[in-house]
Structure 1
Amino acid sequence: MTSKPRKHATGKTLARSRAYASAATALRITAAEFQAWQAELDLSNGEAAAVLFISPNTVTAARQNGGTAELGLKCRAVLAGIGAADAWADVRRLGRVHKAMRE
């Protein structure tokens, strides 16, 4: 029995909603914000890369074009004093303290 060539389904992808696209855009970090963050912490490109666990080329790109929402969250976490080596219990405790201070 010979096999017939399979017909490939014409896969149509669903378009993302506009709300998703605008939320992702709103959370991105701009080049000016990234540069201000780096200057506030007095970090070189190499030090910023090490702190954020990204490559130095990504730091250079963020300084010129801004970065993703994930990069913005990482920058905010570092500014808040949360490090990658911190235990989850410590991070949760810091979150509760922050919430209490805002109320």
Structure 2
Amino acid sequence: MNWILLLIAGLFEAAFATCLGKAQETSGKENIFWWGGFVACLFLSMFLMYRSISGENAIPIGTAYAVWTGIGAVTGVISGIIFFDEPATFWRMFFVCTLIASVVGLKITQTH
């Protein structure tokens, strides 16, 4: 269950970064909407990460933080490509794949 919470926390990390990017592009009421989304996603991301490192079957903080940032980084790059017209070059995709492999490797080698 803690790994599922951590996965969701990582997705909310990318969501708060996406909201922050959209807030930069907008003004007025739409801007307030994106800032509200940023705050909500930030809170949920931190709360879920905290829950994943707490209690029974807790994920070690070093592993949890690395996985959380990895998930956020990968989904953040994908979000940038989809929503902000960032380039999807070979090398960007290559290094995104190495991030995914690293996150999977951390999960596989976890000692708990």
Q: What TM-score, normalized by structure 2, do the two folds share?
A: 0.29
- The higher radius of gyration belongs to 1
* Greater relative contact order (CA < 8 Å, ≥ 6 in sequence): 2
TM-score (norm 1): 0.31
